[in-house]
Structure 1
Amino acid sequence: MIGKVLRASSLFRRQYGHLRGFLLWAELLKEKLHAHGQPFSVHVPGARAPIWLRARTSDVEAFCQIFGHVEMGFFSSSHAHYMIDAGANIGLTSVFLAMRYPDARIDALEVDSQNCALLRRNTAPYKNVHLLEKGLWSHACKLKILNPEAEPWAYRVGPAPEGAADGIPAIGVAELLAASGFKQVDLLKIDIEGSEIEVLNGQSGEWMGAVKTMAIELHDWMRSGCSDALQRAVDVRRHTRHQSGEYHVIVFE
C-alpha cells in the first residue's frame, strides 16, 4: 500500500519535495469527492493563492501536465517582458508563467465564458496577467463556437456570420503585439483546438519575426493540415525545434 502511494505521488514529490509534493497529490484526490464540473481547490507550493479545478474533467490532467510534468518548464529567460497564452482555458499556464515571471505582461486569451470565470479566479492574484475574452485568429473578427455540445475545454471556433451580434471577438497576434506596447513576444503559447491553421496560414508573416519562442499544440487529428501550416510559417526563419509534452517548441534564432 505504501509503495503504491509513493509511486502515485512521485510526480509531484520530484517537483516540490517529498512532503509538499505528497500534500499536493493528496489534495488532487479531493476530485473524487465532487460531482462532475464542481470546483475544488489545490495549493501549489509557491503560488499566491489556491488554484481552482473542475472535478472529473480534463482540468486535473491539464494541471498534472503544467505543474507535475512542467511542460512549460522549457522556457527560461532572465528578461522576459511579454507573453501570450492563447487558449488559456482556466489559466494554469498563465499562473505557472506569472509565478516565474512576475514582472512580465501575460495576455491570456479564452473564448468560453465558463472557462473565463475560473481563469479570472485563478489569475486574480497575479496582476501581470491580463484576461482577454477573445479568440486568437489571423485578424480581428467575430467567431462562433462550432461544437456547442462539447465540453467547454474542447470548443472549436470558426467565423461567425457577417453582422452577427453575439459573435465572440477575435484578434491577431500583430494586433496583440501592437496593443501591448512591446516589440517582441518572448513566448507565444497556442492551444486553440485546430484554429492554429487560421493563425498560421493568415497574416503570420506580419508578426512571426517578432516571436522569440513559440509553444504550440497541434490538432491534426481534429483538422488535417495543422502540422503543414506550422512548418510553412516557421520556415521563414532559422530555428530549432523540440517537443515538451504535447507542445511543439520552436525557438527562433
Structure 2
Amino acid sequence: MLTNLVRFKLLKKHFKFRDAYALFAGLKNKKETIVLPKLNRKIYLRPNSKDAETFEEIFLSHLYDIRLPIIPETIVDAGANVGFATLFFKIKYPDASIVAIEIETKNADAFRKNTTGFDNVTLHQQALYNKKSYFSIADPYKATNSFQIRKADSPENSDIDSVTLDEIISEKKWDTIDILKIDIEGAEKQLFEKNYENWLPKIKIIMIETHDRMVSGCSFTVMHTISKYNFILYTTTEGTLIYYNLDLIALPSL
C-alpha cells in the first residue's frame, strides 16, 4: 500500500508539480474529471469503472517506465483501453507517432477524450489479430479493462473486425515499430501463432502482458515464437515482459 507521500512523488516523476498535485487530489477524492493546468488538458475517469485503477497501474508503477536504449519514434499501443498508456508514452516521448488499438466502443470513446489534442495519435477500433477476421466482444469479468474477443461465425453477427501489424506498418509507411505494447487479454496467443514472419523482425522492443489465466498457453506461444528471432528478455515490470530485438538495437549496459 503506497503512502500519500510516495504516491505524490511518483506522480511528480511524470507530471509538473501543479499537475501532479491535481492528480493526487483528484484520485484521492475520486473525481471524474481532473484538470491538468500545466499540460492544458483533462483526465477523464468514468464512475463505476476500472479507469482510476488503470491510471495508477501505469503512472504509479514501473509498468512501462524503464530506461530504453532508444528514443522511440513509432509505437503501437495494442489494448489501449481508455488511453492512459498512450498518454504515458506521449508525455515521455512527445515526438513519437502512436497507433492505438482498442476493441470496446465505450473504452474507445474514453480514449479519444483522454488523448484529444495529441499530434500523431491514431486509434483503430479493431482487434489486433494474425489475419482478417470478425469477432464478438465478451466481458467475462464484468470489468472495463478486460474485454476479450470471440470468433464470430459471420461478419453480420460480429461486433468488430481485425487489423494486423502488417497492415499498420504498411498504412503508416514505417520501417520498424520501436515499441510494441501488447495487453490484449489472451488474444496474444493467436497473434503469435501464425503470420508473424513479416512484422516480428521489424519490432525493436516488445512490452507484453500474457494472460494464461484467460487463455491457456499464451506464455508458451509468445515465448516460443519470439525465441525464433534474436530477441532477449531484458527485464520484467509488474507482470509485463520486456523484450529487445538485438538485430535492431544495442543491448544497454546494466
Tell me the secondary structure at the aligned position of residue 205 of structure 1. coil
Which residue is equivalent to 2:101?
Answer: 109
> Given the superposition, is the C-alpha separation of residues 99 and 200 from structure 1 closer, same or farther in structure 2, using an over 3 Å criterion?
same
- Structure 1, 101-110 or 47-56: larger mean CA deviation: 47-56
Name 1:27's counterpart in structure 2: 26
Q: Secondary structure at the match of 2:29?
A: helix
Deviation at 1:223, TM superposition (A): 1.3
> What is the one-letter code of the residue matched to 1:24?
L
Change (3 A) 1:90 1:224: same
Check whether the contact 1:16–1:45 (CA below 8 A) recurs between aligned residues.
Answer: no
Supply the AA of the counterpart residue of 1:13: K
TM-score (norm 1): 0.86
TM, length-normalised to structure 2: 0.86
Once the two structures are TM-superposed, the CA of residue 200 in structure 1 deviates from its matched residue by: 0.8
The reply to whether residue 193 of structure 1 matches residue 185 of structure 2 is yes
**Is the 1:102–1:128 Cα contact (8 Å) retained in structure 2?**
no
Question: Are residues 133 and 188 of structure 1, via their aligned partners in 2, closer, same or farther at CA, if it must alter by over 3 Å?
Answer: same
Task: Assess, with a 3 A threshold, how the Cα gap between structure 1 residues 189 and 14 changes in structure 2: closer, same or farther.
Answer: closer
Deviation at 1:222, TM superposition (A): 1.2
Residues 77 and 131 from structure 1, CA distance in 2 versus in 1: closer, same or farther, beyond 3 angstroms?
farther
Q: Separation in 1 of the partners of 2:154 and 2:188?
A: 22
Partner of 1:230: 222
Letter aligned with residue 186 of structure 1: D
Closer/same/farther in 2, CA of residues 214 and 78 from structure 1, 3 Å limit? closer
Cα separation, 2, equivalents of 1:56 and 1:162? 33
The alpha-carbon distance between structure 1 residues 43 and 233, as it changes in their structure 2 partners (threshold 3 A), is farther
Q: Which runs of 5+ in 1 are unaligned?
A: 34-39
**Residue 91 of structure 1 pairs with residue 71 of structure 2:** no
Fraction of identical pairs, as percent: 26
- Report deviation, 1:78: 5.0
Q: Deviations over 1:18-76 (max 9, x none)?
A: 96445422210222x7xxxxxx1234586441111123432112111211224211253
Partner of 1:7: 3
Q: Which has the larger share of helix?
A: 1
Tell me how far apart the structure 2 counterparts of residues 86 and 19 of structure 1 sit (CA, whole Å): 30
Give 1:169 shift: 1.6
Aligned alpha-carbon RMSD (Å): 2.4
1:170 partner letter = S
Q: Which residue of 2 aligns with 1:145?
A: 137
Q: How far apart, CA to CA, are the structure 1 residues paired with 2:137 and 2:76?
A: 21
Quick one: distance in 2 between partners of 1:141 and 1:133? 14
2:24 aligned partner, one-letter code: W
